[in-house]
Amino acid sequence: MGMSDTETGADVRTPEEVENAEQDVVTVTPDDERTGLANRLDAHTGDGIRHRAFTCLLFDEQGRILLAQRAARKRLWDTCWDGTVASHPVEGQSQKEATRERLEEELGISPDQYDDLEVTDRFEYKRYYMNDGVEWEVCAVLQATLTDTSIDPDPDEVGGVLWADYEDLHENPRHYRQLDLCPWFEIAMRRDFE
């Protein structure tokens, strides 16, 4: 009778890793020109593979930013606080299309709650997360203002949400030191105030 992976001590993939291994990301040059596709799990392990990503920062009409905590099930930067939503467009999908889709899936925010979604920046970065993986992305930043701030977070994706004064978050990080921020959000915020 054979032994299971757990009994033999072999690596067992988490549900998040299984999900990632079944998806591709768009590989890109530093200028965000498409070069091909890579398995999503492969792109986030070892030394990583540069790929296309986005982060979206949503604001209310008073200029507060909606932060979302990544769910504990996330393989990388689990329980860290992010801008409103971040992910990867799939082949043939624009940054705006991908952002609209993830806002609806993760936070229940529909396109009729905002009308000014725009790409405001783009940057390349590479960061390792403990011994679990890496992000090497050309990240587009999209921003919009919510005219209707009602949300319905998916607990499989979002651990928590909070509204923060964006300028205060940037200028007084010690006031928010209990929030472990995702690196791509910190970069996007810093660049926003440069």
51 labelled ligand-binding = yes
170 labelled ligand-binding = no
Instruction: Verify whether residue 137 is a known catalytic residue.
Output: yes
Token couple for 173:
């990080």
The residue annotated as part of the active site, out of 16, 61, 97, 137, is 137
> String of b and e for 2-27 (b: at least 16 CB within 10 Å)?
eeeeeeeeeeeeeebbeebeeebbbb
Nearest to 75 by CA among 133, 153, 23: 133
175 labelled ligand-binding = no
22 labelled ligand-binding = no
CA 111/CA 24 separation, integer angstroms: 25
For 154, half-sphere exposure in the C-beta direction (CA atoms, 13 angstrom radius) is 13
CA 97/CA 83 separation, integer angstroms: 18
For residue 85, the one-letter residue type is: V
Per DSSP bridges, beta strands 118-129 and 133-145 are: antiparallel
Hey, which residues are catalytic here? Answer: 137
- Binding positions for Mn(2+) are 44, 51, 88, 135, 137
Binding annotation:
44, 51, 88, 106, 135, 137
Residue ranges of the annotated binding site for Mg(2+) are 106
